[in-house]
A and B are shown apart, each in its own frame.
Chain A
C-alpha cells in the first residue's frame, strides 16, 4: 500500500476535491445509517446459535397388509434371516427397486461378534445383500455407539462385513445430529437426533441381538433406537421405560430383525463373557417391533410384563405385546453343513 501523497504545495484546494470528499462522506454516513437500521436488534440475545427443532418422527412403515411376525429356529443366522423374510412375504414385499435403505444396527460397544453384545456381522451383511438383490439403490448401515464409533464398527466385524456385501457405513459426527421434537412427547423435545444419514432414505430396517439390560430389563429392537439419540442421552436412564416407549413412537421401521441365535442372559448390555450367553437358536422378523420384543422377552425367561416399556409403547400405538395375535409363522431354517 503506497502512501498517497499530494505533491508539495500543489494548486489551491479545488472546490471539486472538497465536493468529492463530501459526497464520499455522505455515502459513508448513508451506508452507516442503512447498516445500522438493518442490523438493529436483528437477533436479540439468547437467539443466536440455537437451531430450531424439527419433527423427529421417522416413519418408514410398509404399505398394505397388517403386521406380520415370523419366528425361525436354527443356528446359522444367514439362513434363519432368509427363511424368516420368506415367511413374511419375502424381502421384495418390503424393498422395491430404487429404494434407499438405512439399516440401524446395534454397534454400541467395541467388542467382538462372538460376545453377542452387538448385531452379528452375518445379520448385517445378509440384510445388505438381500436389499441390494431386491434392487435397492443404496444401503447405509449406521449406529451412534457408546464407545468410539470407528473402532466399534471395525472390532464388531460389522464394518468389514457390510463393506464386503456392498453396503456403505455411516459413522456419525457431531454435525450428523439435529435438534428434534416428537409431537406430544414428554422426553424427546428439542433433543439432538441422528439426522444426516436419513437424507433421501425410503426404508428403515432395525436389527439387534437379544440382550439382558441392567437398567431396562432387556435390550432388543426397541431399545436399539436409543442409538438414534445424540447429546448427553444417558440422562434418559433416569426414565428408561419412558424413553424406550417414546422411541417406539418416534420410529416406525419397515421391519425389524431380532437375533436370538444366542441371547445374553446376564451382565447386559455389555456382557463380556461367553458364559453370559445361551444358545436360544431363534430369529424373529417382524413389522411390529413391540411384538418382536415381546416374543424376545420369552427367550430371556421373561414376559412382556417384566418390561414395562413394552406395554407403554403399545399404549402409544407402536404395536402389540400380544405377539400370538399376529399369527406368527413358525419354521425351522435348513442347516448348512
Chain B
C-alpha cells in the first residue's frame, strides 16, 4: 500500500523527529520517577481484602524444626476477626473466652505436603481444655504432648497451658505426622506457661463404664441452657445403655443449690419436661421426665451434678447415687 518513497528526510524534519523523541524520553523519566513516590492510597490500604487485626507476627516460630519451612507470613486474628478464618466454629471459641489466634502454613522440605498450625490463646488452661475436649475426635490416639493431646487422621491437637494448638496436615502420611510432633514440641518450648491444665474433675467421674476420653468441658450453653456454663460431661456405656453424667464446681454450697434449682426449672419450663419425683439417694435430687428420657439433678457441697438422658427413672436414680458417692470425699 505504502508508496515506496525514496524521499530522504531533510534536516528540519530530522530535527523535529529527534525533538519528539526527546519529549518521549522526558515523559518516560517523569513516569519512572513518579512510580517511586507511592500513592497515599497504596500506603493506607490493605493489599488483600482480609483486614489485618492489629500487628501480624512475622512467624509463629523464630526457628523452625528441621525439615520444615514457612509458607508465607503468619496471620493474627482477634475476637472481632476470628470468623474470617474459621467461620462457623468461631462461636465455640468466643464463648470459651478466646483471646487470639495465630496461624501459619509450613511446608515439608522435599515433599509436596504441608500443614497449617493454629495456636489459640484461650487465656486460661480450663478454657483451652474446654475447646479441646468439646472437639475431641473419638478415634484419636493419645499423642503424649503438652497437658492433653491426641492425633487423629491428619490432625494433631493439644492443650498446652492456656494454649490450644491444632496442627492440620495436607495428608495423613507418616512424614506429616512426624513433622507435626516435632513442630508441636517446638511450639510448646517456645511458649512457656506458668499454669498447666489439670482437670481434677476428671477423677471425680466413676470409672466403671466411662467411655475413654469422653470427659468434656462445655464452656457455655450446656444442654441449650444459656445460663449454664463450664460443666464437665462424661459419657457412659454399660450393656446397651448409654447415659451422660455431668458435674460442675459452683464455688459454694449456695451457688450449687441455686444452679441445681435453675437447671431443674429450665428442664421443666423450656424443655417440656415433667417432674418425676425425688431421689432418696442423693437426698433431695430431682428426676425430670423429658418424654422418655430421664434427667437427674442434684448437688453435693459446692458441686452441681446429675444424670442426662437415662433410659428410665430408676436408671437415672441409680447413676445419680453412684456419682453422689464419688463427690463425698471432696464436698467440703
Chain A in direct contact with chain B (Cβ < 8 angstroms): no
Chain B interface (Cβ < 8 Å from any Cβ of A) = none
Chain A interface (Cβ < 8 Å from any Cβ of B) = none
